[in-house]
Structure 1
Amino acid sequence: MRYKFLFSIFVFFFISVFLALGSWQIIRLNWKLELINQIETSLKDIPVNLSNSKHKNYLRVKTRGSIDFEKQIYLYNLNEKGKPGFEVINPLKVGNNNYLLNRGWIPFNKKEDETINVIDENYINGVLRKQIKPNIFKPENDLSENYWFTLDKDDIFKFTGKNFSPYVIYLSGNNEFPKPKSITANISNNHKKYALTWFSLAISILLIYLYLRKKNY
């Protein structure tokens, strides 16, 4: 009798855990859907003046400034078709503030090509994205060859001698090279699938328990 009682406690404990995990995924699902909606709305808004804006992720901005081509950074990355190349990133001085301007992707053979540096510094439109922590598994940056794998803050300071805003400006436009990166609300959202998995496990365990209970009582 005691064994059956302990077994019941054990079963309902795990059912409760799985139900809690499923409920948590539902909360995360609603949060993610709201976030995606906010991003989509922000990307449709009219660009605001960078200097007068409260910086946030996916904010469309417009500004003018001084682009430093001498300290141009070549960040290894794949384009939208999976072809390897570089993202071209420049220090941008706007008033008293320093930003990194991601101008887009180029193939390897365009590195150091002066034709990629034709841009009107008085009309810079883009989208703000907050920098994320560098992936520790990526190779170290080669500053001497200007070959980058991450936007490491310390390396950027060594290379440019400047500190920058945590927000990177991703240039908008239809240039061929550098080809601006398409910023969308394409964020992974698997919370519904996870919730169904946890709820299914809880129901399965309950049905098995009821079957065994009916069989043994």
Structure 2
Amino acid sequence: MLRLRPVLLPLLVVLPVLAVLLGLGTWQVQRLAWKTELIARIADAEAAPAIPLPAEPEPFTKVFVTGRFDHAREALLGLEVRGATLGARLLTPLLREGADPILVDRGWVPVQGDRPIARPEGEQRVTGFIREGETAGRFAAADDVPGRRFYTFDPAAIGAALGLPRVAPFGLTAMGEGGGLPEPARTLPRPTNNHLGYVVTWYGVAAALAGVFLVWARRRLKEDA
């Protein structure tokens, strides 16, 4: 123990840091497994045929639903630039017989311009995937309720702002081939998966720290021998 005294204090400093780095690396391994499974489930859902909308659908489930669009209550969600054109997602309530309306993201439209936007009338069958509701973050842009411009997809809040006392607690992102406005989604969204890089980073830093300390400790012990 006396022989190790010169490196004991640095060792007590290095060990907690090393434990934190290894913990972060292990956490990213778990996140990598979760994200990989999620992306695989999304790919499976995209390849599967659409099913009738269940009462409590899982996120990203590919479904179809019938109803009538209430174009008088449409709104815009978020901001998205395509090419040099600023646009947003067109939200339109779909009125359903015997069920709460559901907010449908019909696709991207330019914020300004005079390009015609299709607004089909009568009974429609809409195919798409389930979108979860969101909670506004601390730095989220404030919704413009009078202008019907929303930046957080909160179905209850948006529905109330549009004069709908009850709406489904989830939304539906319409899918299609496009060809006009709005431009619907063509595939299900896939979250980015950068966790492998984080795993390499945290474990790499931990290995480097351990290596540097071992080299330094060995040299220090030789000097004191």
Same fold (TM over 0.5): yes
| Equivalent residue, structure 2, for 1:31 | 34
SS in 1 for 2:123: coil
1:99-153: CA deviation from partner (whole Å, max 9, x where unpaired): 1011111122248x5x520266332111111122234434433333333333444
Are 1:88 and 1:102, in contact at CA under 8 Å, matched by a contact in 2? Answer: yes
* 1:118 and 2:99 are equivalent in the alignment: no
| Equivalent residue, structure 2, for 1:46 | 49
TM-score, normalised to structure 2, is 0.83
Q: Structure 1 residues 194, 5: CA separation in 2 closer, same or farther (over 3 Å shift)?
A: same
Return the structure number with greater strand share: 2
Question: Which moves more between the two structures, 98-107 or 166-175?
Answer: 166-175
| Equivalent residue, structure 1, for 2:135 | 133
Alignment of 1:170-181 (within 5 A): 170-175=173-178, 176-181=180-185
Match of 1:21 among 18, 24, 39: 24
CA RMSD across the alignment: 2.3
Q: Structure 1 residues 14, 147: CA separation in 2 closer, same or farther (over 3 Å shift)?
A: closer
Are 1:40 and 1:185, in contact at CA under 8 Å, matched by a contact in 2? Answer: no
State the shift of 1:196 in Å.
Answer: 0.9
State the shift of 1:187 in Å.
Answer: 0.9
| Equivalent residue, structure 2, for 1:211 | 215
Are 1:88 and 1:178, in contact at CA under 8 Å, matched by a contact in 2? Answer: yes
For 1:211 and 1:168, the matched residues in 2 are separated by 57
For 1:82 and 1:39, the matched residues in 2 are separated by 30
TM-score, normalised to structure 1, is 0.86
Are 1:76 and 1:84, in contact at CA under 8 Å, matched by a contact in 2? Answer: no
Are 1:73 and 1:90, in contact at CA under 8 Å, matched by a contact in 2? Answer: yes
* 1:4 and 2:7 are equivalent in the alignment: yes
Q: Structure 1 residues 81, 130: CA separation in 2 closer, same or farther (over 3 Å shift)?
A: farther
| Equivalent residue, structure 2, for 1:101 | 104
Any gaps of 5 or more consecutive residues in structure 1? none
State the shift of 1:182 in Å.
Answer: 3.6
The one-letter amino acid paired with 1:181 is: A
Query: For this pair of structures, how many residues does the alignment match?
Result: 214
Q: Matched residues, percent identical?
A: 23
The one-letter amino acid paired with 2:41 is: Q
SS in 1 for 2:173: strand
For 2:139 and 2:20, the matched residues in 1 are separated by 34
For 1:167 and 1:76, the matched residues in 2 are separated by 17
State the shift of 1:54 in Å.
Answer: 4.0
For 1:53 and 1:96, the matched residues in 2 are separated by 10
Match of 1:197 among 183, 195, 201: 201
Q: Structure 1 residues 102, 110: CA separation in 2 closer, same or farther (over 3 Å shift)?
A: farther
